[in-house]
Amino acid sequence: MLAVLSPGQGSQKPGFLAPWLELPHAEARLRWWSALAGVDLIHLGTAADADEIKDTARTQPLLVAAALLAAEHLPMYDVQLAAGHSVGELGAAALAGVLPAEAAVTLAGVRGREMAAACALEPTGMSAVLGGDPAEVVAAIEAHGLHAANRNGAGQIVAAGALGALEKFAAEPPARTRVIALSVAGAFHTPYMAPAEQALAAVAAGISPADPQRILVSNFDGASIANGREMLRRLVRQVTAPVRWDLCMKTLADLGVTGVIELPPAGTLAGLVKRELKGSGMPEIVTLNTPDDLPAARDLIARHGVAPSHEPTPMFRVVVSPGAGTFQPAEGLEEGDEVRSGQVIGQVTSRQGGADVKAHDTGVLTEWLANHDDPVAPGQPLARIGGSL
């Protein structure tokens, strides 16, 4: 299985987009997206210095545009899974077919501007906590009135909140940890960003999302999201919700991902995957930073992706598991029965509780792909629904 990952804020480097502008139509595409995002993406990606592209209002649309620009040169129809870190989730949602590229870039522009404005309301920040026991680290963060804004796995959790509280936390770090203050504008993915979430929600309300065409893994809980409106709701909620990249990587492992491509500016997520999934389950990774890396990325897709087929495509939709757990089909529902869009056809239960499995189309339950009490992973196919009523 092949996964494409879209990086988040902090991965940008001065001039990283310059080589991509040599490709046909790239400059015109970026000029169009610049008009939508309200920033000059060509300048930011080629001539701007590190301080200029550190500005949240500029960085976020730049990262989404870079990922989408590079992905246009890949055979995405052979890619089975997409995921993104923080603002990178907008790029992943576009790659999965939930949003048009134009909508993703527009939302990234709004998101960046509004989060920058929220940061200016009061002095807040973020600090990386390296090492230690994860449960103890989170408990210590919360005890100081801070938030665990990013849980990136591989021994890295990011604390966020008021600057004074961060200073006290750094002076009394949890056992076996190192605390590093991050050069960011404010406390992203915390309640401090509530004004930005409200502004983004107002714009997102005018978008009509589509259901994903491939597995789309959510930062909120590592679940595979099969409904476009649910994913759009999560993209808005993510502004104040913690990034659970640790759970996203667990989903990659649960699904048996064997190949990973990180879109530009690549390296950060690849490093986290290497540290978290080391050993026999380590996927083959390509970091796509310049057009020179495209042949390696295409080769990886050819070997780990879905082979194209010229056979007629059956008219059915597959319902997938929203998370890890045990599957229970709905009582009395059998193959051949009619189901309606939104109907609960089963439940996945885990230690954290139960999650309903809903049909996203009206049709006929043609086949169960998982049985009663079967253990299932996020994104695993559970049922096939075919034909329209």
Here the tokens at position 153 are 């796995």
Question: Do residues 153 and 249 make contact, with C-beta atoms less than 8 angstroms apart?
Answer: yes
The partner residues of 126 in beta bridges, in order of sequence, read 160
**β pairing state of 344-350 and 353-358:** antiparallel
User: What is the helix (H) or strand (E) element at residue 142, kind and residue range?
Assistant: helix 134-143
- If one counts every other C-beta atom within 10 angstroms of the C-beta of residue 186, the result is 24
Q: How many whole angstroms separate alpha carbon 142 and alpha carbon 119?
A: 20
What are the percentages of helix, strand and coil residues in the chain, rounded to 5? 40, 25, 40
Question: Do residues 269 and 289 make contact, with C-beta atoms less than 8 angstroms apart?
Answer: no
Here the tokens at position 343 are 């109907």
For 63, 199, 272, 278, 317, the CA distances from 151, given in Å and listed in that order, are 20, 25, 11, 18, 33
Q: How many whole angstroms separate alpha carbon 338 and alpha carbon 45?
A: 52
- If one counts every other C-beta atom within 10 angstroms of the C-beta of residue 280, the result is 5
Query: Which residues have a Cβ under 8 Å from the Cβ of 30 and sit 6 or more positions away?
Result: 17, 21, 41, 42, 45, 65, 69
Query: Which residues have a Cβ under 8 Å from the Cβ of 362 and sit 6 or more positions away?
Result: 338, 339, 340, 341, 388, 389
Catalytic amino acids?
Answer: 86, 189
